[in-house]
Amino acid sequence: MKMLRILLVCLLVLSTVPADAASPTLKNGYTVKTTKLYWRAMQSSPVAKTLRTNVPVRYVPYNRSWSNVYIGSTRYFTPSVNLKAGIPKMTSSERLRLVNKQHGLPSTYRSPQLTTLTIPTVYQKGSEKTLMTAEAAYALAKLYYAGRKQGHTLYALSAYRSYSTQKSIYNYWVSARGTSYASKYVAIPGHSEHQTGLAVDMTSRRMRLGLYESFDQSPEGKWMLQNAHRYGFILRYPKGKERITGYNYEPWHLRYVGVKEATLMKQQNWTLEEWWRKR
């Protein structure tokens, strides 16, 4: 388990560091408070950039008290006390945020913790569809490797979706099929759970990397539905709960809520709506 964790951390680091032999070994970390980045060490002006708390960064110690933070290929300096190694943790209210037809997100909402998934994705890395909040992305990697160990290879099709993407999808269907069709099958902008950065649609080669209800009959889908809670994911739109969730059965749509709550919801057969009502 410890080896696996080390391997996962290595994979997370390797996948985000450009393959340049001259570049320093960067650590994955996050900002522990609002963090000002400077162009030079030991110099507190001018401020080059300000990062919020819990933003994932790649960094390397520069001297005893300062570190280099890399954003893309640009190097900044900041006091090392602003940084912590590892994966940024969410608060439980962020982790359990309810987004559905009744509860929306502001159009400007975008988690500062979005990072690129390390598992195989259908879309090329760089697409917003391959982003998830760091804690959820890390948990999804654990789920993926556990599946691989049992001979099941899962792919992430669609994870994060911005408000503006959802808006163009919705508008497309309104113009193609009318408002009543669109509102039945496509979330109104601000009401898609994918905007939280905690949701992901999963698939497999057997599903030709698409989304089909028969996924729940495939070995990969069966395994995923039985085990996702161990890694903090729930099936967000189960069969028989359509009137509670407001959505048709989707055996591919996982939502990250954390291991403890996912296990409880699985045991009690609760949707996220029911968890909010009954907890």
Contact residues: Zn ion, CB under 5 A: 201, 253
242 flagged as catalytic: no
- Comparing CB distances to Zn ion, the nearer of 27 and 255 is 255
Q: What CA–CA distance (Å, rounded) separates 50 from 58?
A: 15
Residue 61: its H or E element = strand 56-61
Catalytic-labelled residue, pool 128, 220, 250, 261: 250
- Comparing CB distances to Zn ion, the nearer of 83 and 157 is 157
- Sorted by sequence, the CB contacts under 8 Å of residue 160 that are 6+ apart come out as 114, 128, 129, 130, 131, 132, 194, 195, 197
Q: In this structure, what are the phi and psi dihedrals at residue 219, rounded to the nearest 5 degrees?
A: -55, -40
With CA atoms as reference, report the closest residue to 198 among 108, 134, 116.
134
Query: Residue 276: how many CB atoms within 10 A of its CB?
Result: 13
- Comparing CB distances to Zn ion, the nearer of 128 and 201 is 201
User: Most distant CA pair in the chain: distance in Å?
Assistant: 62
Q: What CA–CA distance (Å, rounded) separates 187 from 193?
A: 9
Shortest Å, Cβ 203 to Zn ion: 11
Shortest Å, Cβ 201 to Zn ion: 4
State in Å, rounded, how far the first CA of the chain is from the last one: 32
- Comparing CB distances to Zn ion, the nearer of 51 and 156 is 156
Return the residue matching tokens 């919801």. Answer: 265
Shortest Å, Cβ 102 to Zn ion: 18
Residue number of the CB closest to Zn ion reads 253
Shortest Å, Cβ 153 to Zn ion: 20
Q: What CA–CA distance (Å, rounded) separates 277 from 271?
A: 10
- Comparing CB distances to Zn ion, the nearer of 54 and 196 is 196
Q: What CA–CA distance (Å, rounded) separates 93 from 90?
A: 8
Shortest Å, Cβ 143 to Zn ion: 16
Could you tell me if 224 and 143 are in contact, meaning their C-beta atoms sit under 8 angstroms apart? yes
List, by residue number, the catalytic residues: 250
